[in-house]
């Protein structure tokens, strides 16, 4: 078993690390970098993206022939983690959610170059942003899209007509390209289908941008209403009834790329706390000299390493062509907890300063709370794991399987 990474990947990791430290992290402390939703301003993103592209660090997950770095999924893990040392890093390298998950699924399922040129390339080039439209308000579907989705896509000749309501759609207020899940039949396994639509298509609207506790993604999380949106049959992804399959193709890697970024963010929390306890004195000693403080740092450090290993194992399995369902679920549950714990421990160790906006810890703490909900609540992933354990017994922990 070889845990080393190639010299080329290590060299790229170091270049990303330097770019983030030299070019991106200085922006975090400048108030004029932020928009009203506590994220980096879009005009600043545009100019920083040019720098990332010029530095050869653009879209690590996309094929070289489409302008990315063509890394395998284990390579994404290494690079995303470095990028997410800064809260602005992933969007500047074009490996942020939800675009990266949308790019991955479109790259896999679009049938030909013409469709990829139209729907995928502008996202890779950073010319447009995208959204994944699945979750619905009550009584529609949240954790159980297959069973409960109410948004309907009715076939009328060579078109589908969409009616329904969605919410918590990340990025919708700035997105141009949308991937939509809707019900095409009552079949419990093949009742959903996936479609593409464009922001300018008539028959839908953004009802509101939902206020929430976190610093917001660009375009926020939005509630959408569909009232007769017409989608031509060529804009259906795969076959009718393949919606859940598309969801799995998208969410496996997309959940894992969250883990990659969250690991980078958890490391940053610890880095901030470590710097503080190494210079701050209380009762005649530096805080770092107290064993209880070192225990807190050591506790988070080892939890981060467990998360890295779970993430890398799942990435490796995805690379082998496995769906890696249970490995992705385990990584997602664990890393979501670790991110929260790292931010919380960071605040505790930095005392009042940690609670203030003088460090990024409070930003990351508020952001971290959504990690246990997005792309499947932790309880749902545990349910999935119990299902696998029920089928596999002790083979759950098998080496190859």
Ligand X SMILES: Cc1cc2nc3c(=O)[nH]c(=O)nc-3n(C[C@H](O)[C@H](O)[C@H](O)COP(=O)(O)OP(=O)(O)OC[C@H]3O[C@@H](n4cnc5c(N)ncnc54)[C@H](O)[C@@H]3O)c2cc1C
Closest distance between ligand X and the C-beta of residue 398, in Å?
25
Per rule CB under 6 A, is residue 223 in the interface with ligand X? no
Point out which span in 56-64, 128-136, 287-295, 339-347 binds ligand X (CB under 6 A).
128-136
Per rule CB under 6 A, is residue 377 in the interface with ligand X? yes
Per rule CB under 6 A, is residue 134 in the interface with ligand X? yes
Point out which span in 23-31, 110-118, 325-333, 371-379 binds ligand X (CB under 6 A).
371-379
Angle at 237 between CA 171 and CA 130, to 5 degrees: 15
Per rule CB under 6 A, is residue 151 in the interface with ligand X? no
CB within 8 A of 348, min separation 6: which ones? Answer: 296, 354
Give the integer Cα–Cα distance in Å for 270 and 156.
56
Size of the site for ligand X (CB under 6 A): 20
- CB atoms < 10 A from the CB of 377, how many? 16
Per rule CB under 6 A, is residue 175 in the interface with ligand X? no
Per rule CB under 6 A, is residue 383 in the interface with ligand X? yes
Per rule CB under 6 A, is residue 170 in the interface with ligand X? yes
The closest alpha carbon to 67, from 108, 116, 102, belongs to: 116
Per rule CB under 6 A, is residue 168 in the interface with ligand X? yes
The closest alpha carbon to 102, from 253, 212, 223, belongs to: 253
Per rule CB under 6 A, is residue 385 in the interface with ligand X? no
Per rule CB under 6 A, is residue 12 in the interface with ligand X? no
> Per the omega criterion (within 30 degrees of 0), is the bond before 8 cis?
no
Closest distance between ligand X and the C-beta of residue 231, in Å?
17
Is the CB of residue 83 less than 8 Å from the CB of residue 90? Answer: yes
Q: Which CB atom, from 194 or from 287, has the smaller least distance to ligand X? A: 194
Contact with ligand X (CB under 6 A) among 196, 221, 296, 364: 221
Closest distance between ligand X and the C-beta of residue 300, in Å?
23
Q: Which CB atom, from 361 or from 370, has the smaller least distance to ligand X? A: 370
Q: Which CB atom, from 32 or from 211, has the smaller least distance to ligand X? A: 211
CB within 8 A of 19, min separation 6: which ones? Answer: 51, 52, 55, 57
Per rule CB under 6 A, is residue 135 in the interface with ligand X? yes
- H-assigned helices in 41-173: 42-54, 73-83, 89-92, 99-109, 113-115, 121-124, 145-148
Per rule CB under 6 A, is residue 143 in the interface with ligand X? yes
Point out which span in 7-15, 17-25, 73-81, 163-171 binds ligand X (CB under 6 A).
163-171
**Alpha-carbon dihedral 267, 270, 275, 276, rounded to 10 degrees:** 150
Contact with ligand X (CB under 6 A) among 161, 306, 373, 385: 373
Q: Which CB atom, from 337 or from 375, has the smaller least distance to ligand X? A: 375
Angle of helix 291-319 relative to helix 73-83, nearest 10 degrees, comes to 150
Per rule CB under 6 A, is residue 94 in the interface with ligand X? no
Give the integer Cα–Cα distance in Å for 166 and 175.
15
Could you tell me the two tokens for 103? 């790019």
Could you tell me what percentage of the chain is helix, strand and coil, using 3-state DSSP and rounding each to the nearest 5?
Answer: 55, 15, 30
Closest distance between ligand X and the C-beta of residue 189, in Å?
18
Kindly report the length of the chain.
401
Q: Which residues bind ligand X (CB under 6 A)?
A: 98, 132-135, 142-143, 168-170, 221, 370, 373-377, 379-380, 383
């Amino acid at each position: 078993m070889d845990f080393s990474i190639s010299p080329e990947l290590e060299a790229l990791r170091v270049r990303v690390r330097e770019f983030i430290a030299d070019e991106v992290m200085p922006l975090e402390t400048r108030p004029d970098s932020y928009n009203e939703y506590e994220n980096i301003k879009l005009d600043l993103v545009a100019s920083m993206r040019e720098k990332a592209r010029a530095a050869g660090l653009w879209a690590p997950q996309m094929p070289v022939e489409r302008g990315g770095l063509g890394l395998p999924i284990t390579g994404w893990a290494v690079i995303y983690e470095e990028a997410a040392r800064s809260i602005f890093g992933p969007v500047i390298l074009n490996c942020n959610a939800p675009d990266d998950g949308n790019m991955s699924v479109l790259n896999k399922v679009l049938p030909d170059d013409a469709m990829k040129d139209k729907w995928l390339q502008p996202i890779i080039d950073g010319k447009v942003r995208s959204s994944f439209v699945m979750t619905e308000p009550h009584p529609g579907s949240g954790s159980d899209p297959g069973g409960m989705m109410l948004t309907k896509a009715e076939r009328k000749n060579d078109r589908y007509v969409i009616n329904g309501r969605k919410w918590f759609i990340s990025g919708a207020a700035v997105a141009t390209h949308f991937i939509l899940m809707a019900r095409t039949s009552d079949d419990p396994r093949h009742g959903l289908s996936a479609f593409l639509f464009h922001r300018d298509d008539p028959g839908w609207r953004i009802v509101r941008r939902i206020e929430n506790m976190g610093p917001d993604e660009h375009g926020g999380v939005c509630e959408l209403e569909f009232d007769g949106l017409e989608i031509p049959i060529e804009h259906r992804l795969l076959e009718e009834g393949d919606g859940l399959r598309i969801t799995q193709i998208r969410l496996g890697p997309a959940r894992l790329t969250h883990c990659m970024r969250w690991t980078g963010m958890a490391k940053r929390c610890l880095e901030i706390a470590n710097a503080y306890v190494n210079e701050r004195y209380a009762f005649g000693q530096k805080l770092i000299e107290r064993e209880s403080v070192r225990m807190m740092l050591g506790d988070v450090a080892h939890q981060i390493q467990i998360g890295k290993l779970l993430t890398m194992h799942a990435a490796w399995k995805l690379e082998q062509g496995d769906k890696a369902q249970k490995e992705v679920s385990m990584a997602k549950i664990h890393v979501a907890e670790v991110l929260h714990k790292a931010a919380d421990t960071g605040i505790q160790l930095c005392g009042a300063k940690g609670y203030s906006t003088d460090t990024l810890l409070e930003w990351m703490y508020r952001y971290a709370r959504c990690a246990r909900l997005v792309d499947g609540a932790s309880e749902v992933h545990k349910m999935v794991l119990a299902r696998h354990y029920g089928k596999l017994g002790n083979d759950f922990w098998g080496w190859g399987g």
